[in-house]
Amino acid sequence: MAKSDYKRRALALSSGLGRTELVFDDKDVVDLLRITIEREGGQSAFARASGVNRTYLNLVLHGKAPVYDTIAKALGLRRVYIVK
């Protein structure tokens, strides 16, 4: 990154412009899912409330299916891509 890019970024952050976001990986999302399911009263209750298929939910919790947008949306998240 060029020196001027750093200066622009520093200026934007110091001025209060821009946003600070939390970044979760799939493991973090599954951990958040577990907590949310517990608060909802179990997998079936969460599935009914969120409209997520309970079988798929169980597969995600056991690491046998990937986290798709349906889970992210049910948790109030959205999927984004970050450059490494």
The 10s digit of each residue's pLDDT in 2-58 is 666 667 766 666 766 666 778 899 999 999 999 999 999 999 999 999 999 999 999
| Residue 10 is assigned to a structural domain of this protein | no
Rounded to two decimals, what is the model's pTM?
Answer: 0.74
35 is a domain residue: yes
Question: Taking the CB of residue 80, how many other CB atoms lie within 10 A of it?
Answer: 8
Residue 33 sits in a domain whose CATH number is 1.10.260.40
Cβ contact 55:49 at 8 Å: no
Does residue 61 sit within a domain?
A: yes
CB atoms within 10 A of CB 46: 20
> For residue 46, what are the domain limits?
22-84
Report the b/e string of 7-41 with b at 16+ CB within 10 A.
eeeeeeeeeeeeeeeeebeeeebbebbeebbeeee
In a domain, 46, yes or no: yes
How many distinct structural domains can be found in the chain? 1
In a domain, 53, yes or no: yes
pLDDT band at residue 83 using 50, 70 and 90 as cut-offs: confident
| Residue 83 is assigned to a structural domain of this protein | yes
Please, which pLDDT band fits residue 70 given cuts at 50, 70 and 90? Answer: very high
81 — pLDDT class (breaks 50, 70, 90) = confident
Are 60 and 30 in contact, with CB atoms under 8 Å apart? yes
